[in-house]
């Protein structure tokens, strides 16, 4: 149960090795935090920098295998009790997806189908417990897809639409969804890519998430300025949009 200053006691990270996921855990850490469950493909993810009093549990989680998602959520509840905050932090960039139909389908299976099925499994639990927040790491790439990474953008657009819709569907159940739309973030996933304007670090995303949770927001942008930028860019003429995508 979150306390009155919105500090969680339990956090589940889906995508347990995610840099952004770890940064969010660190930003939400407080004396109230008791248990963190890291669910991912790595059996030995980097431990978040939190108090040694916090219990860390590691679970196997494959975003691309929806048949396991309910079980993973159940195992997290078994370990930690009610889930106060669940972070959907997994995702792949799929650099070859545009040229490889199979890789593209795999990307959709993880980024979109995996987000939908794990999101629903989480929502089921949050509804059952009557409280809790699902934090979905979407991306501005899904707000308007770019020619240079449109398959990734399309997967994130699907995830984003699912997350914002789920938020409405959960209204009144005590559960809610915070959709996070970061721009370019320096992480293991984007290592080696050329940086763009408004590039930020995982810690910046984490701060935006912490602020959004405290204020009870349903959508946050990181950095916040991107909300205005994309408010304009999503309606920019196609030629302008293509020019920007270099």
Region for residue 14 given its phi and psi (left: phi exceeds 0; alpha: psi -120 to 50; beta: otherwise): beta
Q: Which of 17, 26, 30, 58 binds another protein (CB under 8 A)?
A: 30
Q: Should residue 168 be labelled a site residue for another protein when binding is judged by CB under 8 A?
A: no
Nearer to another protein, 1 or 188 (CB): 1
CB of 130 to another protein, least distance (A): 3
SS3 content of the chain, % helix, strand, coil (to 5): 45, 15, 40
C-beta of residue 204 within 8 angstroms of C-beta of residue 158: no
Q: Which of 67, 99, 102, 172 binds another protein (CB under 8 A)?
A: 172
List, by residue number, the catalytic residues: 152
- Tell me the β-bridge partners of 137: 180
Any idea what DSSP says for residue 200? B
Q: Which of 17, 57, 58, 129 binds another protein (CB under 8 A)?
A: 129
CB of 131 to another protein, least distance (A): 4
Cα Rg of the chain, angstroms: 17
Q: How far apart are CA 20 and CA 205, in angstroms?
A: 7
Nearer to another protein, 58 or 173 (CB): 173
Q: Which of 60, 62, 82, 201 binds another protein (CB under 8 A)?
A: 82
Which alpha helices (DSSP H) does 12-98 contain, by range?
A: 19-28, 69-80
Query: How many residues are listed for the chain in this entry?
Result: 246
Q: Which of 41, 47, 127, 217 binds another protein (CB under 8 A)?
A: 127
Contact pattern for another protein over residues 188 through 217, marking x by CB under 8 A: -----------------------x--xxx-
Provide the greatest CA pair distance for the chain.
55
Positions in the binding site for another protein (CB under 8 A)? 1-7, 9, 30-32, 34, 81-82, 127-131, 172-174, 211, 214-216
């Amino acid at each position: 149960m979150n306390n009155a200053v919105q500090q969680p006691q339990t956090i589940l990270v889906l995508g347990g090795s995610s840099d952004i996921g770890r940064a969010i855990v660190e930003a939400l850490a407080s004396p109230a935090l008791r248990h963190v469950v890291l669910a991912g493909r790595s059996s030995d993810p980097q431990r978040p920098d939190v108090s040694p009093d916090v219990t860390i549990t590691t679970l196997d989680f494959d975003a691309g295998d929806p048949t396991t998602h309910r079980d993973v959520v159940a195992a997290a509840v078994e370990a930690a009790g009610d889930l106060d905050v669940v972070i959907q932090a997994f995702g792949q960039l799929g650099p070859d997806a545009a040229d490889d139909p199979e890789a593209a389908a795999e990307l959709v299976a993880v980024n979109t189908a995996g987000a939908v099925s794990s999101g629903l499994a989480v929502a089921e639990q949050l509804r059952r417990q009557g409280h809790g927040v699902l934090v979905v790491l979407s991306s501005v790439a899904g707000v308007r897809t770019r020619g240079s990474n449109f398959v990734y953008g399309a997967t994130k657009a699907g995830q984003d639409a699912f997350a914002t819709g789920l938020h409405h569907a959960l209204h009144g159940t005590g559960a809610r969804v915070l959709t996070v739309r970061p721009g370019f973030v320096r992480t293991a996933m984007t290592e080696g890519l050329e940086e763009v304007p408004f590039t930020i670090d995982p810690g910046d995303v984490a701060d935006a998430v912490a602020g959004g949770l405290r204020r009870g927001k349903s959508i946050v942008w990181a950095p916040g300025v991107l909300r205005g930028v994309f408010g304009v860019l999503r309606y920019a003429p196609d030629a302008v949009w293509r020019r920007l995508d270099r």
